[in-house]
Amino acid sequence: MKLLKVFVVSDSVGETGEQVVKAAITQFRPNFDNTLIRKFPHIEDNDHIEKIVEIAKEQNAIIVFTLVEEKMRQFMINLCHHEQVECIDLIGPMIHLFEQQIGEQPLEEPGLVHKLDDDYFKKIEAVEFAVKYDDGRDPRGLLLADVVLVGVSRTSKTPLSQYLAHKRYKVANVPLVPEVNPPEELFLVDPKKCFGLVISPEKLNVIRKERLIALGLNDDAIYAKQSRIEQEIEHFYNVVERIGCSVIDVTNKAVEETANDIIDRIEQNK
């Protein structure tokens, strides 16, 4: 069996070229027997290309490259042709086709797809974090969070956590109830990343009554009584005073508005 050598050359990490090469090779050698794939990532200039072509010629290797800059691609093609080294331009023809089709110039900036991937995975990680540490389920998350929200029931802690998560912030939230002592971790959190959410008793009374009705319950339960709400809010202020964190009145604010307020404060504190 003939030894197959493939050099994957890229101005980024080379993952795209490597996956295409592997997809093609498996049609001949599913187990990659007697096959060598070598990556040359982060190629920045023609000197690097010259050295790679020299090695490829010595080792009788094929060069597969993904270079987004047209001048570098053309240099690679010309040099390989001159040195009689087989090469394949994976991305150039596609960029050229798109350029003709839409009449726009390519950015020629390496690694953009991986920047998008990183951004996507950061968002997913933040969303999963918000779910895991929602409603005070695991106090350990408070010390790992970028943002900590505290407030009484029905102050939009969960939807606000999810909205911030989609902005790549890891958020944990804790409901405050007079009968339950807040977790000790809450008082170890940096006050600058902790935010207390408060709402007017009258507004909260309406929201809680609507919630009870939606659940098929009687709206005169203690949960929605004005005296109970005032007791909870008093407890809330006692806790946030101990924490030393900012308080945001969400009475007439949309979730997006509150989120932007929090983001502005976090960025100012950096």
Instruction: Quote the distance between the C-alpha of residue 244 and its chain's center.
Output: 29
CB under 8 Å to 39, separation ≥6 — which residues? 7, 8, 10, 14, 17, 18
H or E stretch covering 122: helix 112-132
CB 37 within 8 A of CB 21: yes
The two tokens of residue 84 are: 């009689």
Rounded to whole angstroms, how far apart are CA atoms 30 and 83? 31
Instruction: Specify the DSSP class assigned to residue 107.
Output: -
Rounded to whole angstroms, how far apart are CA atoms 114 and 163? 24
For the residues of 67-88, what is the DSSP string, one character each? --SHHHHHHHHHHHHHHT--EE
Instruction: Quote the distance between the C-alpha of residue 242 and its chain's center.
Output: 32
Query: What Rg value do the Cα atoms of the chain yield, rounded?
Result: 29
Annotated binding-site residue numbers: 151-158
Annotated binding-site residue numbers for ADP: 151-158
